[in-house]
Structure 1
Amino acid sequence: MQLEVRPDPAEVGRARRWARSRLAGSGIEADEPLAEILVLLVSELVTNAVVHTGCTAVLRLSLPCEAADAATVRLEVADSSERAPVPRCADGEETGGRGLALVDGLADRWGWSREGDGKRVWCELDRCERAEARLACGGGVGYEGLDGFEGFDGLEGLAYEAV
């Protein structure tokens, strides 16, 4: 499943609605923590593509079939910008700069790769057998593709809640 996203901030809301609509038939309930985390990750990655590249992007979502109790959900955003995603260390007064830290903290795995003239940023969530066990599945176990970037200290001291 994929959605083309224009370089317009209004597209972020459309991408969230599209992702929610795709949950039907996947066995992931709309009020399940995994669904809320997935929608937040869609919002962060699409926002990055829209705000930082000014290019059209393609959002791809791979959901498990309804029968799968334990599976992986994969989200990808591909764009035509060669600029690598760079985590920032935003201070308490800044209104942006925390997106990749959220992705790192909420996804089980994430990274990026060059693709043609652009790149693909991806993340994966492992689906637990029970929604209540989501956080015990190892969310935020690591990141890939950002070796060598200075100033990113991970999520020490960062508190977040998916609501």
Structure 2
Amino acid sequence: MEVRPDPSEVGRARRWARSRLAGSGIAADEPLAETLILLVSELVTNAVVHTGCPAVLRILLSGRGPDAETEPETVRVEVADSCARPPRPRHAEGDETGGRGLELVDGLADRWGWQREGSGKRIWCEVDRSGAGNSLRNGFGFTYEAVRPV
């Protein structure tokens, strides 16, 4: 999905991701879907707020779980943009309204990282369906243990 450098695109990205996940057998009310939507929201928000460049959102489903017809084993979310500036994790203090995005990604995803790509970069994260117990225990999509203390 192509994303314009406009904060209103974040809602559109969430809607697109919900549709893509549902079409892949991940029900909207599953904790996995809730977590993936939050990850999409954070990565797309970072791209549109911090780069000022268009971006491309991708959701990749790899491997298959016990139900080989519908259940992806690993879900990867990627956001690529043309800004060469690397992502910079911050630690927000107190009432700050920003600066928590990559901390959330780190706490919710099983893995995350970034790589240079052409003149820009690709930021990605992965959630394992089988290992989802590591980070998907409550209705908010994360456990207190999974998020590093602030």
Hey, what's the Cα distance between the residues in 2 that align with 1:35 and 1:70? 12
**Aligned counterpart, 2:125:** 123
Match of 1:161 in 2: none
CA 1:59–1:69 in structure 2 vs 1: closer, same or farther (change >3 Å)? closer
- Name the residue aligned to 2:58: 60
Letter in 2 for 1:73: V
Q: Tell me the equivalent position of 2:148.
A: 156
Specify the code of the residue in structure 1 equivalent to 2:92: A
**Unaligned segments of structure 1, at least 5 residues:** 141-153, 159-163
Query: Any runs of at least 4 consecutive aligned residues in structure 1 with deviations exceeding 3 A, and if so which?
Result: none
1:124 to partner: Cα distance: 0.3
Q: TM-score, normalised by structure 1?
A: 0.78
The aligned counterpart of 1:6 is 4
CA–CA distance in 2 between the matches of 1:21 and 1:113? 27
Match of 2:38 among 24, 37, 40: 40
Q: 1:139 aligns with which of 128, 135, 142?
A: 135
Deviation at 1:92, TM superposition (A): 1.1
Q: Which amino acid aligns with 1:67?
A: E
Q: CA deviation at 1:69?
A: 4.5
Q: Distance in 2 between matches of 1:82 and 1:4?
A: 18
TM-score by length of 2: 0.84
Percent identity between the aligned chains?
70
Alignment match of 1:75 (pick from 61, 74, 77): 77
Structural RMSD (CA): 2.0
Aligned pairs for 1:86-97 within 5 A? 86-97=88-99
Does 2:14 match 1:20?
Answer: no
Higher strand fraction: Structure 1 or Structure 2?
Answer: 2
Cα drift, residue 62 of structure 1 = 0.9
Distance in structure 1 (CA, Å) of the matches to 2:148 and 2:59: 29
Q: Secondary structure at the match of 2:96?
A: coil
1:63 Cα deviation from its structure 2 partner:
2.6
